[in-house]
Amino acid sequence: MNRYTASILCLVTAFLSLSTQGQQKAASPGYVPVTKYDPKRDADNDIENAVIEAQRTGKRILLEVGGEWCTWCHILDKFFEQNRPLAELREKNFITVKVSYSPENKNQKVLSRYPTIPGYPHLFVLDQNGKLLHSQDTSKLESGKSYNLKGVTSFLRRWAPRSK
């Protein structure tokens, strides 16, 4: 009877443990990156979620402000796609959030918290708590009809979180 009771107790404990793990996963689906300029998105909410993820992962936040209308925004996307080590450097150190600036939604409430944007795309680096660390005019990173690999790499390395 003792073995039987102990076995039942172990099974019940294991079942409850697995059941609780399943509930925790369902309650916390994880961070979903904002990879498109969508005027319908809630930028405040996206940034709040990025702060939570940055605190969880130890990364910084990279706000990329622009729009689907913005040629240089698409050039920047393509630049990262074509330079995989650069994209990996960004992914390793930053939670990237695209914030739409368009006729449909200028995100004035969110963008009013940051310095004036001289052109698009524009990058803001935030710490893990959402505090502004740097405002980057991307025209300073351009080279011809694309971006300068050395300049973008230097920017990402400079603003990456410091190793502990």
pLDDT tens across 137-147, in order? 999 999 999 99
Q: What is the pLDDT of residue 163?
A: 72
Query: Based on the number of CB atoms within 10 Å of its own CB, is 116 exposed (0-12), middle (13-18) or buried (19 or more)?
Result: exposed
Handedness of CA 37, 120, 134, 163 (dihedral sign): positive
63 and 10 both lie in a single domain? no
* CA distances for 5 relative to 1, 13, 15, 18, 131, angstroms: 6, 12, 15, 20, 56
78 and 103 both lie in a single domain? yes
48 and 123 both lie in a single domain? yes
Tell me the H-state helices in the chain. Answer: 2-27, 43-57, 71-82, 84-93, 108-111, 149-159
154 and 91 both lie in a single domain? yes
Q: Is residue 94 part of a domain?
A: yes
Q: Is residue 36 part of a domain?
A: no
Q: How many structural domains comprise the chain?
A: 2
pLDDT above 60 for 119: yes
- Quickly state the pLDDT bin for 1 (edges 50, 70, 90): low
- Bridge partners, residue 94, by sequence: 60
Task: Note the pTM of the prediction, 2 decimals.
Answer: 0.81
14 compared with 70, residue with greater pLDDT: 70
- Quickly state the pLDDT bin for 30 (edges 50, 70, 90): confident
Contacts of 161 (CB under 8 A, 6+ apart): 58, 59, 60, 93, 128
